[in-house]
Structure 1
Amino acid sequence: MISQVVRTFLLSFVISSVFCHDINTYNADYGVYVGELSSPESDISGQVFVVNATTLQIFNLTFSPTQQDLYFWLDTKETPTKEGVKAHTYEYGITPLGSFPEDNDRVVVHVPEKNRIDDFKSFSIYSFKTDKNYASLVLPEALKIPKSVALTTEFSGKRYSLRSGPLYVIDRRTIKVYGFTFEGNKAPKTYFYAGRGASVSYSSGVKVAIRGKDEKEISEISENYRGGKDIILELPENYDIFHIDWISVYCYKYRVNFGSVLVPTDDTLANLPPYVPSFKRNSDEKSMTRGVLKGSAERRNFTFQLGDIEHIKNYNVLLTTRTDKLIAFLLQGNLRSPKYVWHVNSVMTPDLYLMRNVTYNFNVEGGREKMIPEFYNPLYIGDDENGGYNELSENEIERVTVHSPGPIESNTGPLCLWMHNKDKSANEPDTFLDCDGWPEDVHSFAFTPNETTPSVLYYNSGNNFNMGGRIFIVDELPEDIADSAEVPYNREKWHTLALSRQRADKVNGGKATLAAVFLIILTIMIA
């Protein structure tokens, strides 16, 4: 606890020293300072820096959301308007903002795809439903954006076919090596190595991690790289490109430099983006394996119902996050996950494989009660991964193509909910289905993909984010992927249950009427 307090204090002290600089000035550790995110009407505050053309980071953010409809917002006007766009975070994606973990030393914010930070004039925390600005700043004109740098140097050596394309310095601690070629399966105990000095030496260097390979510890290069693969190097903590003179492919066992590149000593790297730590998944967190349902001749009907996911550990949502020109797909479990997700034919958020020029029926049983947002889920098929069509801004809606027929609001039906069977006996399934309303009220629509339908679509809720899954449109169904097992349910049982509920409602309604008459008579007699 004490160490955390000390860490927070030291960070605040260091950050505060940055603000002696003017707006639109570069700091190698944090980026280009663009101002204080603040408002006289709220207690929101935070210091905002530009990391690169598509990323911001906020330090010392004080933010306690008072409502459900707040977003980081970018606008082409100096004050936020409904014509602006959402900027997303790792923690919440494009969903409304919630509280951020106290141990976060920064909040990283990403500009939407196909945009750059200098396309906008303001950055804010904004509610587009109420058109209210909760905190904002005006971005400076002629914004100085930190830039990654391409080097002309390449790896080249006489042993083990070592060579590469040029190196690309992404930020202070991250270097991309294009077209890396090296017979790592033959070389003895070899690592990427970086250090200081006029020449490569064992005593002045340190091992360098390969992203995606050395997440836990740095291991030797053992793969046969044939040039068709780019790799990304991450310098260790307390090292950066400004404090090394060379990067080597180095034989640790015999202390031999197989080939190296020199780091420029001029001002080539003067305005590099700062290093932003990547978010790590918990070591005990496991990725969710999605089910699969194929639209075969025996399966032309897909029924969409809700499922309670609270009993499922480490539920993960697939998001896309763009940093500079890199696309990173993040699986993570600390997003604002929905309480319910779509269960299709009883399978939780499966991948669907549908054939072109074949008609499928989609039955919707996700609730139509607008007063309870969790139970109002119009189904739609579109090219947007995250769903929540009714919650999107005008700018976001323009980017979405809906492929399901009719208005989205029309695709609602009675509520059916898959529940976890906590008190099940040995021969009972883990889940059971509970339905409200009448099975005759189920809404259905037909969907026929054709030659012009995109190969990947998504099914989602029009009212809630992150509830759906993928639809793969194919010419032939894959034979090497197995279907998931469905849990059978009895629709006649649902109808019987609906009748019994109707009778109970009539009886209870009659009792309530008699009680009301009795109270009225009693009131008159007392008067």
Structure 2
Amino acid sequence: MRANTADGRETFGGRELGRQDALSLKPILYLRRAQNLYGNSQLCRIMRNISTNVNLLDILFSVFVIVYARASFSSSSSSSFSCSRAVINLRPLGNDKSLLTKYDSVNFGDVYIPNDLNPPKSRELPEFKRLAHGLRSGNITIMDARTFYIPNLHYDGLGPDAYFFVGNGSEPSPHGIKLPNEIGSLEPLKGYQGEDIEIQLPKSLTVHSIDWLAVWCVQHTHNFGHVIIPDDLDVPPALGQTKITTSSTTQDPEGHWEMNNCRELMPGRLHVNWEVQGDWLQVQLTGKIKDDQYMAFGLSGNPNIVTMIGGDVVVAFYDREKNTFHAEDYYLLATMECRGKNGVCQDELLGGRNDAVLVSGTRRNGVSCIVYRRPMQTNEAINDRAVPLDEEALVIAAIGPLFGTVARRPGAHSSSDMTKNEIRITFGSKNDNTCATSLYNIDDDDESLSAWPPNIIIGKNQFVARLGPSGGERGYKAITGHFAGDVVWYINDKLIPEIYVERKQTYTFIVEGGNDPNKVGHYHPLYITDSPEGGFGQILDAEKNQRVFAGIVFDSEGYPLPTTAGRYCEWKFRSYDRSSEMETFDAFFDSLKLSCEDDGKGAILNWTVLEETPDTVYYQSYSQPNVGWKIHVVDPGYKFNDDKSAAPAIIAVNLPLWTMMTLRLFPAYAVGRIFTIIGLL
């Protein structure tokens, strides 16, 4: 089939070979990963299956893969590779019809491997220079002529127009080129929290044609950090051996990713879309939630029953203050906020890493839509669970409140804000869509339950504090405007009452919120603070600027110690939560029963209200946010209305004689004058 013309030019199948064809006939020694991809028998099968539809250059490419693979397997300096009974159908590059060539045995080529061969290999560079926005990484590796591997990448995501950027010169400048991120997107970079990623240069560039790689803000021409590319690189060419899984999904005009798989996790509230992309699972969570709430989705802690404990989930949320979206990897050790290394904790706090990679996020019309990716398989055997591809997986989901100011974190959700029934998903499936209606098309529920009137305690000096249910939509949430967990404070058998106290007076709290820190959810020392959230034991050091007036002491090193940890008492449902059925709190309270620990007694907190105490403080739980409510601090002699609501003492006003006469002659005008005078007092 291969021959020479009279003037010495080479032909193949009657067609003259050009320069590019000749280059393609050279043994390709750079495919160092071929031996990891194919064994001898598999390579033979590849050659046997080549049909008349295959271009000649594709055949030659496969031949040279085999040649190199065989050479790599052999320890000798010269070797050859052959397959028995190989049938090859060749179609020349031109329009000529080819003949069928059949061999009982065929040698595809020989190659000589020198003993001192030093093939091209990857090159490790330093980490990103740390200049701005928390950018840092591990040492960056050039995998081939177009691929960078960036391990342990951190970036706060707050740059308004930041991209991976390459260019020429001694340092980064505006005259560079944007690079797609690890999923092939040219959107501004989101935050990274220790992810390992790979990015690629466009086909028009190689590492030999650039001098630096940076994270660059185009809008402000600001270099967040960079690494210099050396000149003496001997790295493998980019022949496709380094695979990057890029997104195969598209976005609709509103920025939502179109994935054909969808399940309704919580009717009318939470949907999940998903798609497997190589070694990654891409997930879209869409929730009809408040902007101070989170969405959580992941694998059940037990593959056979729905359980949160042991669950591997991603918590996704929108940070309203920073206008950023987040997707964070969590492991559920217990049903409480993370305390030490117990509770609902980020993988990073447990010695692991955040394997969730944020892709995009939108917030519109009361709906949060967040897209993230996570590996199908990680190397964290304890904190992460592998995502099965072709087997059903039991999944869990929840919606809950966000706490914290410096760093937002998930709080305890109520029992009505989680999946209860079994939801099983085969993640490798196609067109598994049972979502009938978009959450954007669901109207807000105008028939919300009416709130119970707030409870008020006036003129008492002793208070008994126990735990009880939050009262659903009529209770804590409706009264405070905040989300609560499953339990809140009941003071003197009233759901989070507003308490009135006077300065210079002493008050006693008998606290029965639990005294064993190891009992998850049953440890709530009471303290008094100026924080509407509380949860002093859960907040970050950077957030501990709340003032404490009683219930916590600090040791010589400044470590907080709660002092009001008594036995545990809780008001529980006699049958089920009937808060939605009850028009009054008193009716709801009749559906509860008190359950206390047999041993122990309540802790005593004596609080003398100082003159400098603010007008509003809060009784809270040390171990969990949003458990308590307001204490109004008033001066001695403060007057109250007949309905026991607080009001200023009546102001006596002496009116001039001309005003009194005006009142008799022009009553409407006079009344207006009186209120004007009072307003100036």
Q: TM-score range by the shorter chain?
A: 0.3 to 0.5
Higher-Rg member (1/2): 2
Q: TM-score, normalised by structure 2?
A: 0.31
Bigger relative CO (Cα 8 Å, ≥ 6 apart): 1
Normalised by the size of structure 1, how large is the TM-score?
A: 0.39
